[in-house]
Chain A
Amino acid sequence: MGTYKGGFPTYRSLRDNLDVTKNNYDYKNGYFGNKGKSSVNDIREIYSDDQFKEAKSFYDKITYGGIETPLANDKGLITKLKDGTIITYREITSTINSPAVEINIRTSKDACGIKNQKIHFEGSKKK
């Protein structure tokens, strides 16, 4: 039913993990990365030489100290943070070779300015 993620002695909230995440990725106005190919603001892109490793690294940073449960289809992980933020890591999406991390603050009590968003991790075009 989910396991505690990380070695911290208490459950953590989105606020606790924001600095380390912001320090490692482009961040502006509540969004990580850059706007994707469409006009919509909440579909984002982050480029990396190894997009799968980068997506997992991003997910691990922002979910540290939450409760993590694997999806039953083995295609991803979901973590709930203490404030109610839900973060999903999906290794396989309908976009080929583009894992995604979804940040859902709909039930968060303390989203700290972070917006709902889906971040696609893409192979190296720019870093």
Chain B
Amino acid sequence: MIKTYNKINDVEIQLLKGFIGRKLKNIKHDPFIFTPTSYGVVYLTIDDLLYSITDFYESVKCLDFIEDISVLKINDNITEVKSYLKDTKLITENINQTINSISIINGKSSIKKNNESFSFEDTYGIIFTLDDDYQFAFEKDDFGESITIYRGYNLFEKFKYLKDNFEKEAYDISLNPSFEFDIINLK
């Protein structure tokens, strides 16, 4: 079995754990034009500290190929707040709600090719559950570096397409493509 990974790491998980019980004051993102997406970065103000979720390409070994794949990361020690689009001013969206739990949406995809098994584990998004179970979800982009921002309830539903997409579309059925979620719930 050849295993490769593109998941949020333990340091980032600890950083996310530290968000629980604190107030998400606002998020900063590109203006939404036709789509609720921000290019490469969303900034989070939690209490009075600034963090970011980023999604930029890195050359990654994924199953049987190497390609530029976006990598979702959680960052602290932010020194500059800026859009990664030219001449674009970020907008601030006030939220002012407590972060009660966080779900990290990991998934494991696998194929079998020429008697060799490949697996790839990736982080596809992060869901923040706030007061009254209201949620914000940040989904990475497989075909670009945008982050899609969802809001509402039961936002894991937004990610369910990943399984069908991988198993029925991404690879020929002869390669036995399979996909399983591996969700980390932080409370």
A interface residue numbers (CB < 8 A to B)? 1-2, 36-43, 67, 69-74, 78, 80-84, 86, 88, 93-95, 100, 102-104, 106-107, 115-118
B interface residue numbers (CB < 8 A to A)? 31, 33-37, 39, 57, 59, 63-68, 82-89, 111, 113, 139, 141-146, 148, 165, 169-172, 175
Q: Collect the chain B residues with CB atoms within 8 Å of residue A37's CB.
A: 65
Chain B residue at minimum C-beta to C-beta distance from A115 = B169
Task: Verify B33–A78 contact, CB threshold 8 A.
Answer: no
Task: Verify A107–B37 contact, CB threshold 8 A.
Answer: yes
Q: Collect the chain A residues with CB atoms within 8 Å of residue B139's CB.
A: 106
Among B68, B143, B175, contact of A39 (Cβ-Cβ < 8 Å): B175
Contacts A1-B88, A107-B148: A40 and B141 contacting too (C-beta < 8 A)?
Answer: no
Q: Collect the chain B residues with CB atoms within 8 Å of residue A115's CB.
A: 169
22 cross-chain CB contacts under 8 A = A38-B63, A39-B63, A67-B33, A69-B87, A70-B86, A71-B86, A72-B82, A72-B85, A72-B86, A72-B88, A78-B144, A78-B146, A80-B35, A86-B37, A94-B68, A95-B68, A106-B148, A107-B36, A107-B148, A116-B142, A116-B165, A117-B143
Q: Collect the chain B residues with CB atoms within 8 Å of residue A84's CB.
A: 34-35
Task: Verify B170–A41 contact, CB threshold 8 A.
Answer: yes
Most B CB within 10 A of own CB, among A71, A83, A100: A71
Q: Collect the chain B residues with CB atoms within 8 Å of residue A74's CB.
A: 86
Q: Collect the chain B residues with CB atoms within 8 Å of residue A39's CB.
A: 63-65, 111, 113, 171-172, 175
Task: Verify B143–A116 contact, CB threshold 8 A.
Answer: yes
Contacts A80-B33, A86-B146, A104-B146: A1 and B89 contacting too (C-beta < 8 A)?
Answer: yes
**Distance in Å from the Cβ of B79 to the closest Cβ of chain A?**
16
Q: Collect the chain B residues with CB atoms within 8 Å of residue A116's CB.
A: 142-143, 165
Chain B residue at minimum C-beta to C-beta distance from A107 = B35
In whole angstroms, how far apart are the Cα atoms of A5 and B83 in the complex? 21
Q: Collect the chain B residues with CB atoms within 8 Å of residue A43's CB.
A: 65, 67
Most A CB within 10 A of own CB, among B31, B65, B89: B65
Q: Collect the chain B residues with CB atoms within 8 Å of residue A107's CB.
A: 34-37, 148
**Distance in Å from the Cβ of A86 to the closest Cβ of chain B?**
6
Q: Collect the chain B residues with CB atoms within 8 Å of residue A95's CB.
A: 68
Q: Collect the chain A residues with CB atoms within 8 Å of residue B84's CB.
A: 71-73
Contacts A1-B89, A71-B86: A40 and B63 contacting too (C-beta < 8 A)?
Answer: yes
Contacts A37-B65, A39-B64, A106-B141: A72 and B171 contacting too (C-beta < 8 A)?
Answer: no
**Distance in Å from the Cβ of B1 to the closest Cβ of chain A?**
16
Among B37, B143, B170, contact of A103 (Cβ-Cβ < 8 Å): B143
Q: Collect the chain B residues with CB atoms within 8 Å of residue A1's CB.
A: 31, 33, 85, 87-89
Q: Collect the chain B residues with CB atoms within 8 Å of residue A94's CB.
A: 57, 59, 66-68
Q: Collect the chain B residues with CB atoms within 8 Å of residue A2's CB.
A: 33, 85, 88
